[in-house]
Amino acid sequence: MSIPGNLLYTKDHEWVKIEGATAIIGISDHAQHALGDITFVELPKIGDRVVQGKHCATVESVKAASDVYAPFSGKVIKINTELLQHPELANQSPYSQGWFIAIEIDNIKEKDSLMLESEYVHYLTQLPS
């Protein structure tokens, strides 16, 4: 299971990469593995507002559907259109080509509720198998 060290994580298995005032968001390797072959991704529109902890995207596999929750509140400034055409990128490359959206962060303090790599690793071990 790959868990890069330069990212932050949520309990719902989203990852965030902070670049200045921008947060790039995707789902973790654990999440893509649990879902299986991803067949469809639904993303918000550029300009939409998302709220921390609330639904911002949807992923579907053959036998599951899952909501993606926004790790930060803010405005959507970019979406991965390539992912819409090729949802399998979320399986093949969850941390790079399979990114979901980028948002302009409202309040960087929201980062305090996110997990560091080490915390996320620990969190995963606590989950029921």
Partner 1 sequence: MQLIFEKSRKGRRAFRIPAVDVPVKAKLPSKYCRSNDALLAEVSELDLVRHFTNLSRLNFSVDTNFYPLGSCTMKYNPKFTEQIAGLEGFRELHPLFAQLDATVPYTQGALEVLFCAEQVLCEITGMTAFTTQPLAGAHGELTGAMIIAAYHRHKGNTPKYVIVPDSSHGTNPASAAIAGYEVMVIPTDKDGYMDMEAYKSKLGPESAAVMLTCPDTLGIFNPRIKEIADLAHKAGVLMYYDGANLNAVLGKVRPGDLGFDIVHLNLHKTFATPHGGGGPGAGPVGVTARLSEFLPVPRVIKKRDNTFALEYKFPHSIGPVAPFYGNFGVILKALAYIMLLGKTGLIEVSEIAVLNANYCLARLKDFYQVAYNKNRCMHECILSAVEQAKNGVRALDIAKYLIDKGFHPPTIYFPLIVKEALMIEPTETESKETLDSFIAVMIEIAKMSKTHPELVVNAPLCSPVKRLDETKAARELNLRWRPPLEKDG
Partner 2 sequence: MSFIPHTEQEINEMLETIGASSIDELFKDIGPQMRPKSFHIPEGRSELEVDRYFKVMSQKNRPGLVNFIGAGFYEHYIPAVVDALASRSEFYTAYTPYQSECAQGWLQAMYEYQTSICELTGLDVSNASLYDGGTALCEAVMMAIRITGRNKVIVDCGVNHTYRTMLYAYTKNLAIEFVETPVVQGLSCRKDIYKLLDDRTAAVILQNPNFFGAVDDHSDIVDKTHSCGAVAIGSVYPISLGILKTPAEMGIDIATGEGQSLGLPLSFGGPYLGFMAVRKEYTRQMPGRIVGATVDKDGKPGYVLTLQAREQHIRREKATSNICSNEALCALRALMYLCALGKEGLRELALLNFHKSEFAKTCLDTIPGVVVKRSSPTFNEFTVMLPHDAEKVFEKMAAKGFACGFPLGRAYKGMENYLLVAVTEKRTKDEVMAFAKALEEAVCS
Binding site for partner 2 (CB under 8 A): 39-40, 60-65
The stretch near partner 1 (CB under 8 A) out of 25-33, 35-43, 102-110, 119-127 is 35-43
**Distance (Å, whole) CA 103 – CA 122:** 27
**Distance (Å, whole) CA 26 – CA 2:** 14
Binding residue (CB under 8 A) for partner 1 from 26, 44, 71, 87: 87
Q: Find which of partner 1, partner 2, none residue 65 binds, CB within 5 to 8 Å per kind.
A: partner 2
Give 88 or 104: the residue with its C-beta nearer to partner 1.
Answer: 88
DSSP string, 9-45: E-TTSEEEEEETTEEEEEE-HHHHHHH-SEEEEE---
For residue 98, the 8-state DSSP code is T
Position 30: which residue type?
A: H
Using CB under 8 A as the binding rule, whether residue 82 contacts partner 1 is answered as no
Using CB under 8 A as the binding rule, whether residue 62 contacts partner 1 is answered as yes
Give 39 or 97: the residue with its C-beta nearer to partner 1.
Answer: 39
